[in-house]
Amino acid sequence: MDDRLKQVQTTDLTDSRVNHEFVGWLKTSGMNYLLMLLLVACAFLAWDWWNRRQDESRDAAWNELAAATSPAAFQGVAATHAEVDAIAELAMLTAGDLLLSSVKTGLRPGLTATDEGARLSDEEKTQSLRDADGFFARAAELAESRPGFAGKPVILASLFGRAAVAESENRLDDARTYLEKAAKIASPEYAPMAEQAQARLANLEGISMHAELPAQAQIPTAITAEGEAYTVPAADDLLEMFEDDTDGETEANAETTAPAAP
């Protein structure tokens, strides 16, 4: 019985000493460790918040780029999200492509032929080509700041776009310069794009030999024997005349080859 009491007393003394040591540690160093743990937890929460914010900003930038439909909208996206991925470069390229397509169709971006005021004047087409060239040049300028090969595809797309603008303005020497530069930059990493540049260079000679069709007002008017002015029919009228002649010949052949009734 005495041994058991001694054992219980010894255990109580040991537990008491441990408790006193723990309390002493808390008073001397415990608060410092708890503060460090709190700082680590706060740092982790801040890091997680920053990553989520960056992801949300990136998603918003790409969504705005996908939703843009006009050159002005693409300019706004490029200015707002200049530091997000390659948003600015892609926005500039898309704006240039949009204006170039607009000049080809003769319609304002986003409008159809039936919309009022959709047609572009000659002055507006000229200005659109200038703006498109500026967008392509800006995209290349932004891409050149990227290290390694990351900016090469954007630079190549920019050069192809500027070459298309130069061809539209009949500046074939400038177009040749852009395409030669594209072929040089594309090799050897982007061989298909280098081949495309070489193919377009080969087509430039054919473009330079194409003759311009005269306008309807430039076609001379002939005077008939009766003294009346004879105007050369337009292309649509010639096509209708050709279709009428073809239909008549088809009906005549059908009647000739049809078997006689018994």
The pLDDT tens digits of the residues spanning 152-168 come to 899 999 999 999 999 99
- Claim: this prediction has a pTM higher than 0.75: no
Torsional sign, CA 141, 144, 150, 155: positive
Q: Which residues are CB-neighbours of 161 under 8 A, at least 6 positions away?
A: 93, 96, 97, 100, 132, 133, 135, 136
The pLDDT tens digits of the residues spanning 190-248 come to 889 999 999 999 888 777 665 565 666 666 665 555 555 555 555 556 556 556 555 55
In whole angstroms, what is the distance from residue 200 CA to residue 236 CA? 32
Query: Token digits for 257?
Result: 């080859």
Bridge partner residues of 229 (DSSP): 223
